[in-house]
Amino acid sequence: LSDIPVIEIITFKDAKEKVRYNRLKRKVLKVYPYAIYTKNKLKEIEEELSEIKRRRKKKQHTKKVSSFLKEELGEKMKKLTRKEGNILVKLIYRETNISTYKLLKEYRGSVNAFFWQTTAKMYDNNLKQEYDPVNNREDMLIEHIIINAKLEGKL
């Protein structure tokens, strides 16, 4: 027998809370494909790097991939709102079980990771942020939105 997801019905205190939920839903559905893309690209990079023996060649390869990603996604990422960026950081953690900061540190170096963390902090974001749907209400709502969207065929 296959597992059947059980979705908790969410109740809202008032109309404002429902509006906030719908805004969150719209933002999650907008950035979730980027998190999936990141997860798939990360697997691809891991496979490519496992075939490369020399550290210098690995570094060259990650730089090449980085510039490709900037070209491909750079403008789209710049158009995200602060909140969408915050949600994307959480969803990347959800999909990879690694914080965005650790990904940057591993593939681009600690100085680069520190720079982007500092920049993110200026915009009220945190690349070290983890996804915790058990203890964080917003993360629980995000999880609810993703499961519902998958069941409805929207993702």
- Tens-place pLDDT, residues 1-57: 666 656 677 888 899 999 999 999 999 999 999 999 999 998 998 888 888 888 888
The pTM is what? 0.86
Give SS3 for 124. coil
Residue 8 lies in a domain: no
Domain count, the chain: 1
Cβ pair 103, 96 in contact under 8 A: yes
Does some domain include residue 3? no
From CA 94, how far away is CA 58, in angstroms rounded?
26
- Asked whether residue 6 is assigned to any structural domain, the reply reads no
> What is the residue range of 95's domain?
15-152
User: What are 128-153's pLDDT values in tens digits?
Assistant: 999 999 999 999 999 999 999 998 88
- Report how far residue 29's alpha carbon sits from residue 10's, in angstroms, rounded to the nearest whole number: 18
**Digit-coded pLDDT (tens) for 18-28:** 999 999 999 99
Q: Is the pLDDT of residue 67 over 70?
A: yes
pLDDT exceeds cutoff 70 at 155: yes
In a domain? residue 10: no
